[in-house]
A and B are shown apart, each in its own frame.
Chain A
Amino acid sequence: KAGVTQTPRYLIKTRGQQVTLSCSPISGHRSVSWYQQTPGQGLQFLFEYFSETQRNKGNFPGRFSGRQFSNSRSEMNVSTLELGDSALYLCASSLNPGQGYEQYFGPGTRLTVT
């Protein structure tokens, strides 16, 4: 069974631009969560989607948004990029939301903002 896939793996953008990252969950998984990982702040929860609905949101500005499609694939968008948005963006999928449903992480998308 294929794991979580994220595209692209690496991305370089300029301040002020916007970016869209994509995540394909493991087949059959309906819950997708996004995390930002930086050396300074560590791993921080961005948002979670289940059945095309945002179920939970972390403490990030409105420039960060996401969505989920009917096939459970998810995208996240960051508008008006800032230098501080440079990070590894990780996507995780699980069968369903809830305790005991193991989350499987993808390899991440490394975003560099210059």
Chain B
Amino acid sequence: GESVGLHLPTLSVQEGDNSIINCAYSNSASDYFIWYKQESGKGPQFIIDIRSNMDKRQGQRVTVLLNKTVKHLSLQIAATQPGDSAVYFCAETSFSGGYNKLIFGAGTRLAVHP
């Protein structure tokens, strides 16, 4: 499949452990944030989003935390499974960006070991 990134930071975890992927965003005017998962040979897939008026949002096995003071976003994956192995991107956008103009982070590769 296509190479997503040659020099991405990698997080290695054991199957069943919890994973935490961090992201620093750049624009203090950003008010909408999204986490995407990209598997080899595929386009990014939406995982979870959060608006700037929230600091935490939970989905199925995933939680996103937003700290606007330090412009930091994190994605927590509970009970990580081999199928979670992929590259994870955070993305930020804003009203001035028209919301569909996503600014992506560099990405983190998650490797899940049995």
Contact = CB atoms under 8 A, between A and B. Distances in A.
Interface of A: 4, 31, 33, 35, 37, 39, 42-45, 48, 55-56, 58, 88, 90, 92, 94, 97-108, 110
A110 B43 CA distance: 11
A114 B93 CA distance: 34
The secondary-structure label for the interface of chain A is strand
Contacts of B101: 33, 45, 48, 56, 58
Interface string B1-38: 01111110000000000000000000000011000100
10 contacts: A31-B100, A39-B6, A43-B89, A48-B98, A90-B43, A92-B100, A94-B100, A99-B95, A102-B46, A110-B2
B103 interface: yes
A52 to B, nearest CB: 15
B65 interface: no
B106 A42 contact: yes
Contact of B51 (A42, A48, A99, A104): A99
A56 B97 contact: yes
B102 interface: yes
A6 B3 CA distance: 18
Interface in B55-112: 89, 91, 93, 95, 97-107
A102 B102 CA distance: 11
Given A56-B97, A98-B99, A99-B32, A107 B43 contact: yes
Nearest to B3: A39
B98 A56 contact: yes
A107 B42 contact: yes
A108 B100 CA distance: 18
B42 A104 contact: no
Nearest to B93: A99
B114 interface: no
A92 B42 CA distance: 12
4 closest pairs, A vs B, by CB? A105-B43, A43-B104, A39-B6, A56-B98
